[in-house]
Structure 1
Amino acid sequence: MLDLKWVRENPDLLDAGLARRGKEPLAASIVALDEKQRAVTTELQGLQARRNDASRQIGAVKKSGGDAQPLMDEVAAIKDRMAALEDEERALVADLDTLMLGIPNLPDDQVPDGADENDNREIRRWGEPKTFDFEPKEHFDLGGGLMDFEGAAKLSGARFVILKGAMARLSRALAQFMLDLHTGDHGYTEMNTPVMVLDAPLVGTGQLPKFSEDLFRTTGSHWLIPTAEVTLTNTVADSILDPAKLPIRMTAHTLCFRSEAGSAGKDTRGMIRQHQFEKVEMVTVCTPEQSEAEHQHMTACAEEVLKRLGLPYRVLALCSGDMGFSARRTYDLEVWLPGQGRYREISSCSNTGDFQARRMKARYRPDGEKATRFVHTLNGSGVAVGRCLVAVLENYQQADGSILVPEALRPYMGGLEVIRTDV
């Protein structure tokens, strides 16, 4: 959420930032609504003062034997007017809140301009795509009897999968490997958080109210999380943090749920885009001064997962038109998939600045200062387990259809070196 005072003072900067995202200008609407609401508030304050003054005068007039009826009539009229203004004020505040909550974060100055993914800027590459002496297959053709899409469809419909035997263990091994790496080498604290939340956490991280169609909701008052970013980030909601304890780095392995609204016809086969998937998430809460270094650190942590697995990848700086709603700067990691013959997203590491912190009221008090400041929050996949499984299958496939287990995962697989899927 943006600072309303900043919007009031910098309407041109707001519209310029929105234009970089390909959005229509909103400053005039916000300023007009804000001015109207403040005018109503000012009138209410004036009426309150006059009502108090008139009420005191009534007592004095009655005590002196005078006629207090005119003052009493005035107070009654003021009360009626105040009641109407209070209703108007509530409606204006609600409209302004809705408008402000619907504004995306503004791109950082370092973000390249662009309209969509075609304008993203490649920063670096790691690893050389393997040359096969046979035609590499896609993961859904490699899974064999250990990857059952039809059985999952009978249970849950499209965009689900059942993993069996060594394939299920490989998925578990990937998650355990990532958690051990992030907690043992990268300074993150492992967390185990709920996968069902109320409205407030989703408002805090920016999924609500604008993106409800992307979420799954229970018949009660809960939502299924689309990412552990929601729960991890909201652990500091409504808090004033000790700056000596910042940065706070957290990681969690959770189920994630997304409706994939707007993705009809995209990646309908396989595990690339599913309604239910697993992800190891990283979240950092820090001071503004630590923010940029933490963004670089988080991105490097996600890269290290792919390096240790021997998976070629590239890093992209997302352009202004392709960033997520809450992000002010984002790096995407795309892993090489031989079966598709192209790079596909496997991690997205975003710095949201104080955008989420304002929505969550997450603050810290700098040493020696009375006033509090908003923290900065960052989030990134470390990495998506299902997509990493896909990458391992395609990059480590062998001519006979078996899968070589990456050395980094063998301790988690009981020493298993080769997975045979023709079972």
Structure 2
Amino acid sequence: MTVFHRVTEGKLGSHDGCTIEDEVSQEFLDRIPGGLFRYRADDEGGTIDYVSRDVLELFGCATYEEFCSITDNSFIGMVHPNDRQRVTEEITSQIKCGNTDAVTYRLNRPDGAEVWVDDRGRYVVDDEGQAWFYVTIIDITEKMSYQRKLERAEERVEMLTVLSRDVIFDIDCQAQTGEIFGDFEARFNREPQSDDLILQKRCDKECSIDLEVHDIERIRDIVAQGDFIDMETSLPNAEGDPIWCRYQSFVLFNGVGCPVRHVGRLLDTHDMVMREATLRKKAELDGLTGVFNREAAMARIEKALASEDCSHGCSLFLVDVDNFKQVNDGFGHPEGDRVLKEIAAFLGRNMRKDDVVARLGGDEFAVFAAGLVPGPALERVLAQLSGGIYARNPRPADMPEDLQPSISIGAVVCTRTSVTFDDLYQVADEALYVAKRGGKSQAALRRLD
């Protein structure tokens, strides 16, 4: 006879919740999900004196005798040999703090099949002083398989994050908590802040792999429904220097439009961005003089002409080297190259940082100054450039005085709001022709109103 609480009225006419005495039939026990068994708590190995049919089925046994031959009729014989020490230690530790234990382990099946169970036991001493463990076990093999897949997926994310130096984040918008995967501190030399987030064969073995393809359409649909951002940006490191990354994230919303989850990543693009910037800069510069080449200068000038920088006016100077052909022919290309480099440096020193200094080709240079309008400043700049001493190194001793190269300038100052580079170039070229006819070191200015 067993004392228990019946939930509904029983055959003895009891009322709900009343404590009564009634027999627990084998049929009743067999209908409880999972396996039930009892084993002695005071002998080595834990001798079993009761086991339910479900336990036998978990071992693939048809009879109790078959079960006993596999397990030696003991609890420890039920546990896979590789798990026995851990399980024994865990149960001992837990019983020291109470009368229940919870462990997981693999069954010691003779066919080698991996069956995991969740074991919940209670330590009981009966009226005769005998100590027992009453245990229920549930098959959790599928759960463990899923858990291993989940752990493997997490490890895969971590390994790929390490290899790519990316940072992945997952924010719970409601709880205002977040997780970051990846070494943020190594990349940015500081701790993350909330604002930062808002084929080679390795062996000789033949490979024959069963591949599992994961369907990402569900996730793709989720992302499509969210608020997706994909942009190149930079975050400051501890010293305030920009560290470039590609920011990708999406936000999931609930039924009433409130954000519930924000997931994204910071792709490590810093080295790539810096390389591209270096290559782009090299592609924009003249290889000899280091100033802008014609294509880069025209693009920058056209962009400036369409901006507010030129709303009040601008100036374009065309600079030509006097006597350059005679210098190049009479003293060689190295001397000619030195003249070009010195003139480019001279123009750069005497113009503002944002002004465009370019070599258009041969010995022709251009200077564009946004916001430089008619007045004393323009006149001073032209006088300084046309009459300045650009050469910092002495010319060859046998170079005649009248052959010393200088520069002539054709300038145009424009106060029109709608003008193109070609418009400016045409007028400046006409002014340059006038300056060249006037002699060396001359400047001629035209207006375009």
By the TM > 0.5 criterion, same fold? no
Counting strand residues as a fraction of each chain, which structure ranks higher? 2
TM-score band (shorter)? under 0.3
Q: Which has the higher contact order (CA 8 A, sep 6+)?
A: 1
Counting helix residues as a fraction of each chain, which structure ranks higher? 1
Q: When the two structures are superposed, what TM-score results if normalisation uses the length of structure 2?
A: 0.17
Q: When the two structures are superposed, what TM-score results if normalisation uses the length of structure 1?
A: 0.17
